[in-house]
Amino acid sequence: FAGNSTYLDDHGPPPQKVLPFPSQVVYNRVGKCGSRTVVLLLRILSEKHGFNLVTSDIHNKTRLTKNEQMELIKNISTAEQPYLFTRHVHFLNFSRFGGDQPVYINIIRDPVNRFLSNYFFRRFGDWRGEQNHMIRTPSMRQEERYLDINVCILENYPECSNPRLFYIIPYFCGQHPRCREPGEWALERAKLNVNENFLLVGILEELEDVLLLLERFLPHYFKDVLSIYKNPEHRKLGNLTVTVKKTVPSPEAIQILYQRMRYEYEFYYYVKEQFHLLKRKFGLKSHIRKPHPRPEFFIPSPLETEEPIDDEEEDDEKWLEDIYKR
């Protein structure tokens, strides 16, 4: 298919074929990188600015067959413009299938932090309460649920070893089978895509600056995003999505995670450097903190937002109730 052929066949020409701003935006959001907060903001913004927010209920299918790619690209490309499409999905190359390449945006975070957030969220959910927790892993066995993170890492459980830890890069590398293999090829291809196809890849640790730049680059979508984000009502929502029951792995375990995630870190630091260059270009100063020997884990903040997936089993509900009463 080419461009908007299906749209044209069904509806006649769109009233304004070429909009004076990017009218096709894709946020192929990385799990556990604040995307729940951004999606909440986008719901408010789409009402306010009148763009078409196209979301997906599919949370756990990031890799697609060629036919699935064609089908998804066709569906996205025929959406009413201006649209912003968001889903957990590895980078899709629209031009490969004859579609117009949209503008991509994304947000990533420190890889070990992201992994740990996911590890505990899968087991214990977040502050929003039990009703949200029965979605994806009610079947998890108790011994797996309470598996000590250090044991998981030091004894090489699949969940804590490669390639399971190779998570962020495939979102930027794409749908090629080699994008799933931790290595130079996937890393370089991911960097190339960031340079050629992404308008902005932000860093969750500096979310307010990410929102500022999105407002600057895509005002038709993100105008006023920062003031909405800073609104106390919204902050309250953000706090509900902080993962609970986290424990800090031992320095030895963290060291092992670093080694296993060395490509992820190379990518993260590359993106961070690009992001800081962009900030300087637009006159935003980075707050330089003294370097830490390793990332600061588990400082609860509204930035640590999660996807509304996964479960909570009855045995844990009592524990959660106690937390609410504190």
pLDDT above 80: residue 236: no
C-alpha to C-alpha distances, 262 to 121, 168, 210, 306, nearest whole angstrom: 23, 12, 25, 24
Burial tier of 121 (Cβ tally within 10 Å: 0-12, 13-18, 19+): buried
The whole-number pLDDT of residue 248 equals 87
Q: Which two tokens stand for residue 75?
A: 């569906």
Considering 49, 59, 88, 292, which one is annotated as catalytic?
A: 88
Say yes or no: domain 24-284 is CATH 3.10.129.10.
no
pLDDT above 80: residue 326: no
| SS3 call for 10 | helix
The whole-number pLDDT of residue 323 equals 31
Q: For this structure, is 220 an active site residue?
A: no
Task: Give the H/E segment covering residue 187.
Answer: helix 184-197
pLDDT above 70: residue 59: yes
Average pLDDT of the residues of the chain = 82
Q: Which two tokens stand for residue 11?
A: 């509806």
Per domain, the residue ranges of the chain are 24-284
| CB-CB contact of 175 with 69 (8 Å) | yes
Banded pLDDT at 3 (limits 50, 70, 90): very low
- Bond from prior residue into 163 cis (ω within 30 degrees of 0): yes
Angle between helices 35-49 and 232-240 (to 10 degrees): 140
The whole-number pLDDT of residue 13 equals 44
Banded pLDDT at 314 (limits 50, 70, 90): very low
pLDDT above 60: residue 16: no
pLDDT above 70: residue 44: yes
Q: Report the C-alpha gap between 125 and 307 in whole angstroms.
A: 10
Name residues whose C-beta falls within 8 Å of residue 135's C-beta, 6 or more positions apart in sequence.
308, 309, 310, 311
pLDDT above 90: residue 15: no
- Position 29, amino acid: R
Mean pLDDT over residues 90-108, rounded? 95
Residues 269-288 have pLDDT tens digits of 999 999 999 999 999 876 65
Q: Where are the beta strands (DSSP E) in 38-186?
A: 52-55, 83-86, 103-108
pLDDT above 80: residue 154: yes
Task: Give the H/E segment covering residue 47.
Answer: helix 35-49
Ranges 66-70, 178-182, 234-238, 264-268: which has the least confidence? 234-238
Mean pLDDT over residues 294-314, rounded? 36
Name residues whose C-beta falls within 8 Å of residue 315's C-beta, 6 or more positions apart in sequence.
142
The whole-number pLDDT of residue 121 equals 85
Greater pLDDT, 319 or 10 = 10
- Using a pLDDT cut of 70, give the percent of the chain over it: 74
